[in-house]
Chain A
């Protein structure tokens, strides 16, 4: 940074109470003009709360302390008031309208108009100009829903920039991105930095943080553990600051007890609902007892479609069969799948995994309800007993078992989803992105749990976008490319590069 560092944002002695918890405890933080400032911390450390205060979601008065922006004390009453000053947040979950075009989305709420009539040409021109000036390679007239997640993220960023952002806050922006898309994002952020846009970058992925951040602030239990120049830290140091202890190994060791083949998928070909061209093509693989089979591949390579169709809940099967213990089985719905001892932990907690507005208890027991009833009447004692058992076993941190799931942190929500499936006592556990958006500590717990399960004879199919996770946990790795098997490799002396080469269609 050539110029002397002037301070853009100061957070001074900010505390935030929730009933029963202190989410932020006297937080002090300076963000310099033009820097990329990473904020790291486990889930529940207070990152999201801090960002919600910065953006006005939690208005002035609901927290203690002061915020200074550009030298002035600011008191945001609403999100609008923070946006007016140029603070823009890009959330983990995108906030675009999929049916509308890129241009309409970017200009949403700020359409050039005369007396309320939108000047469509001007709108397109402005958008094109904006996209070009930031080197964003997106067609302005494409429907957002037809774009990949990575491009959608760029649209979101463009939307933020269109409002003349002075401070851009990105909350876990890469959790749904492929490596290529992540690289593009990194490139865009560096470019923005050159143009003087200040950026707060929140991420679990420390490689990214170190690739891009000037300074790193670590939060733990609502307190700032420290702010350091990135060059003074390394990944292990940050992890130990985050969890308060040295993590020697991200992946726990396991005693492998791999048995015979229990489950086979043969020539599995599936089309999207209402279409005839297959999205999963001629896939065959075996799964052994006690084995972890990793499924890797780029976004859109058909991984989720593969596992959901095996579970009986995706699209139309064109060919293929399933064998359980050598016997052919027919799975037409999730009921069949559960009956045969399959379980599917889906990738999207909010969308397909949990009923967020219902309690921990009702979520956890939903699939196993048929085992908890007499004459279809729920045996409450039995239900509570098994729910408490799994709460204990998975260490789900919730004020009560009747608390609503949306009041829990992401990591604990994932544990509820896991509890829900473990209760069905599956023989084959399919996990789609099992650690997406959860903190390092919970990740480690999930991995340990996976190891325990395999030692007890459960077989696991793990879909993951995170290469280190695939390499760290799998016994074998199935790599998908455009709906086909690009290769199945033993996880010994396999490098990330090999996997990536297969996943991108290289030999």
Chain B
């Protein structure tokens, strides 16, 4: 009986894998097609290391929010305030280093607070803390106040944007501390980049082998060896290609490195932890989750704190990159993040979605922005094209899903 089960499992495992790969490979394929088209249209300017570096760096601000947004949407919720929150948190980080900390340093006589690394750390903590706090308040409203997330975060978006306007009075807050600027503008040195890339490849191999051995030891089914080797090999090639390209232009941008680290962390959280499992269960069937002993409210609150924190990171990085906090910073980031999630296969009815998918989605959105800027296409076209890509991506996804169901 046991053997029979295992045999069945092996075949079906392959089938389900083919299905997953079909889904994720279609978006990756779409991205590649887009890149080929753009490099042809720009006579290769698009694919230069310099431009790719820019592309990743620009895309990362929205991608931070997309990482949090995957969890929000997978739990059957929505956050329309993340962009405004990012703008507000970024402005607070700016105010902290431009006004508050120097004033505090003056009063207390601790001059290390006025600038440098300490000021930078405090400024980032202000942005992230603000994000967690305001995200948390919205979470309380949704989870304990039972107000739909759409309404709470719509209200939140207006409040945060208004607050931001009040803080800045429409005047730009600048310049940032040089150390703070590095968050958005600096590069990981090529040597360190190469080293990190090598470590990543080793980790991929070690992890693949380890999990395979582990499964075998416990008598669970494993994927065929060639498939496993191909997946690990493919991932390694992507890592090496990325590192070598970035190294040909100064190195991996710091914000991209931060994004990769946070995305890795949250991928682990969503796929391997109790909290992650609960996020998807709540989005998949809230009643079943409730009756299975899951504390719905506490988990929804946590999710909004996570997306708030990511908005804070996004705001800080944005302010650092632009070296200025403005009143319209982060405008429509949440919509771009939602689009990135949806293009990346997150279901708006909840229960499904992956962070790597959302990253590819964010990359597609950033590619359109970047490519069209390169081609000197007016910005209104960028919006139109992005809108069409979003609608088309979902059209294709919904219909292929039906066909495969």
Residues of chain A whose beta carbon lies under 8 Å from any beta carbon of chain B: 19-20, 308, 311, 313, 333-335, 337-338, 344, 346, 351-358, 362, 366-367, 369-370, 373, 376-378, 380-381, 384-385, 388, 391-392, 399-403, 420
Q: Which residues in B have some Cβ–Cβ distance to A below 8 Å?
A: 1-2, 5, 8-9, 11-13, 15-16, 214-215, 218, 220-221, 272-275, 277-278, 280-281, 284-285, 287-295, 351-352
CB-based contact A400/B284 at 8 Å: no
Given the interface contacts A384-B220, A400-B12, does A378 sit within 8 Å of B288 by beta carbon?
Answer: no
Give bound CA distance, A354 to B15, whole Å.
23
Selected A-B contacts with CB under 8 Å, 6 pairs:
A337-B293, A355-B280, A378-B274, A399-B11, A400-B8, A400-B221
Most chain A CB within a 10 A radius of its CB, from B11, B273, B284, B351: B284
Within the assembled complex, what's the spacing in Å between the Cα atoms of A65 and B64? 54
Q: Which A residues touch B11, using CB under 8 A?
A: 399
User: In the assembled complex, which residues on chain B have CB atoms less than 8 Å from the CB atom of A366?
Assistant: 277, 281, 288-289, 292, 294
What's the minimum C-beta distance from A398 to chain B, rounded to whole angstroms? 9
Question: What's the minimum C-beta distance from B18 to chain A, rounded to whole angstroms?
Answer: 11
Question: B274 to A370, Cβ gap below 8 A?
Answer: yes
A interface, over-half SS:
mixed
Given contacts A357-B352, A400-B16, contact A376 B294 (CB under 8 A): no
Question: Distance (Å) between the CB of A196 and the closest chain B CB?
Answer: 38
Residues of A within 8 A of B275 (CB): 376
The interface residues of chain B lying within 8 Å CB-to-CB of A355 are 280-281, 284-285, 288-289, 351
Q: Are A335 and B293 touching (Cβ within 8 A)?
A: yes
In the complex the two chains form, is B274's CB within 8 Å of A376's CB?
yes
**Least CB distance, B281 to chain A, in whole angstroms:** 6
Question: Which residue in chain A gives the minimum CB-CB distance to B2?
Answer: A392
Contacts of B215 in A (CB 8 A): 381
Which residues of B sit under 8 angstroms from A311, Cβ to Cβ?
291
Residues of chain A with a CB closer than 8 A to B280's CB: 355, 358, 362
Q: How far apart sit A423 and B1, CA to CA, in the bound complex (Å)? A: 21
Contact B293 A362 (CB under 8 A): no
Chain A residues with CB below 8 A from B294, complex form: 334-335, 366
B291 touches A352 (CB 8 A): yes
Smallest CB separation, B215 vs chain A (Å): 8
Q: Which residues does chain A contribute within 8 Å of B290, judged by CB atoms?
A: 313, 334
Which residues of A are found within 8 Å of B272, using beta-carbon distances?
A: 377-378, 380
Contact B293 A367 (CB under 8 A): yes
Beyond A344-B291, A357-B351, A385-B218, 5 additional pairs, beta carbon < 8 A = A351-B288, A352-B291, A377-B274, A381-B218, A402-B13
Which residue of chain A lies nearest to B349 when distances are taken between CB atoms in the complex? A357
**A334/B284 in contact, CB under 8 A:** no
Task: Say how far B90's CB is from chain A's closest CB, in angstroms.
Answer: 31
Residues of A within 8 A of B274 (CB): 369-370, 373, 376-378
**B291 partner residues in chain A, CB cutoff 8 A:** 308, 311, 313, 334, 344, 346, 352-353
Task: For A334, give the chain B residue with the smallest CB separation.
Answer: B293
A357 to B283, CA, bound (A): 10
Residue pair A334, B273 in contact (C-beta under 8 Å): no
Interface residue from B1, B13, B15 paired with A19 (Cβ < 8 Å): B15
Q: Do A377 and B218 touch across chains, with their CB atoms under 8 A apart?
A: no
CA distance in complex: A384, B9 (Å): 13
- Residues on A with C-beta less than 8 A from B278 are 369
C-alpha spacing A369/B294, complex, angstroms: 10
* Alpha-carbon separation in the docked complex, A354 to B2 (Å): 26
B218, A384: Cβ atoms under 8 Å?
A: yes
Of chain A, the residue at the smallest CB distance from B295 is: A335
Contact partners of A19 in chain B: CB under 8 A = 15
Query: A358, A376, A400: which has the most chain B beta carbons within 10 Å?
Result: A400
User: What's the nearest-Cβ distance from chain A to residue B264, in Å?
Assistant: 14
Asked whether A399 and B285 contact (CB < 8 A) given A333-B295, A335-B293, the answer is no
User: Are A401 and B9 in contact (CB-based, < 8 A)?
Assistant: yes
User: How distant is the Cα of A335 from the Cα of B218 in the complex, in angstroms?
Assistant: 31
Check A399–B295 contact: CB distance below 8 A: no
Cα of A252 to Cα of B16 in the assembled complex, Å = 38
Distance of A400 Cα from B14 Cα, bound (Å): 10
Residues of chain A contacted by B277 (CB below 8 angstroms): 362, 366, 369, 378
Query: Known: A378-B272, A380-B272. Is A367-B281 also a contact (CB below 8 A)?
Result: no
Q: Is the CB of A373 within 8 A of B273?
A: yes
Knowing A362-B281, A373-B273, A376-B273 touch, does A352 contact B287 (C-beta < 8 A)? yes
A-side contacts of B273, CB under 8 Å: 373, 376-378
When C-beta atoms are compared, the residue in chain B nearest to A372 turns out to be: B274
